[in-house]
Amino acid sequence: MGQKTHPIGFRLGFSKPWESRWFARGREYRKQLHEDIIMRVKLKQKLFAAGVSSIEFERLPNLVTVIVRCSRPGIIIGRKGSEVNKLRDDIAAELGKPVKVLIDEVRDPEINALLVAENVASQLEKRIGFRRAMKKVLESALRRGAEGIKIICSGRLGGAEMSRTERYIAGRVPLHTLRADIDYGFTEAATTAGKIGVKVWIFRGERLPDSDTLSGEPVNAPSGMHGERDDARRPRRRPPRDNKDDARGSDRPRGGAKKE
């Protein structure tokens, strides 16, 4: 039975970068990986109001660089950089190493899958109808240039007794095409009826795994790459058969020559 592959993990190293970029051996690898996971969870909870889409870590022997990508960087930076300095000191105390914090603004939060999922979840928690919330973000993403979007909500939608799944799809979302720039986000809405899962896939055009991968420039696929057949690329192997010779009433003898 076919299963769903995580669209970001499927493209890691091809058209998607890793969120942790460093090298370590043995126990040091496990230690640093665990630190990244714990810090990512803590920072996501602490900076939730800033609309954080991703937190990346780069490590050198004596320096840890933390890259925070968010839609509202002013909340993290604060007045004259006071908040970001405090954040840097807190992370340095947690990791025990010098830390450098970089803030990168997400220009189009309407086509960032995680931020879209969090937007839908926040509306569900405010008792807004799930159909209205899903249609609103879907239309907004298409207006901002998304070529396709799929939204799935699962749970006790509308406070119903029995849980169910509702989905909306607009445009195309080619999950098996590696060069397709698919962004994926998942979150949960804590409603009075229980948890509601929200999944979002956004197709933002095609990219190749080179310098244009993260530049946002669309790439034109070569001829014959979208499933259409190119009849001019090679001749036919043999001419078409004559259907008249295959008819039952043919004069051609069957089963060898007739004996006299």
pLDDT tens by residue, 183-215: 999 999 999 999 999 999 999 999 877 544 444
pLDDT at 35 over 80: yes
| Range with lowest mean pLDDT among 88-97, 120-129, 206-215, 226-235 | 226-235
CB-count exposure of residue 115 (10 Å: 0-12, 13-18, 19+): buried
Which residue has better confidence, 15 or 33? 33
CATH superfamily of 109-206: Ribosomal protein S3, C-terminal domain (3.30.1140.32)
**Of 32-41, 216-225, 239-248, minimum mean pLDDT range:** 216-225
Instruction: Determine the pLDDT at residue 225.
Output: 39
pLDDT of residue 180: 92
pLDDT at 226 over 80: no
In the prediction, which pLDDT does 14 show?
87
Q: Say if residue 139's pLDDT is above 80.
A: yes
> Contact, 170 vs 148, CB < 8 A?
yes
Q: Is there a contact between 133 and 168 (Cβ–Cβ < 8 Å)?
A: no
The structural domains of the chain, with segments of one domain joined by +, span 17-105, 109-206
- Does residue 255 surpass a pLDDT of 80? no
Give the CATH fold of the 17-105 domain. Answer: GMP Synthetase; Chain A, domain 3 (3.30.300)
Enter the pTM of the model.
0.76
Rounded distance between C-alpha atoms, residue 44 and residue 25, angstroms? 27
- Residue 148 near residue 202 (C-beta atoms within 8 A): yes
Distance CA 155, CA 198 (A): 9
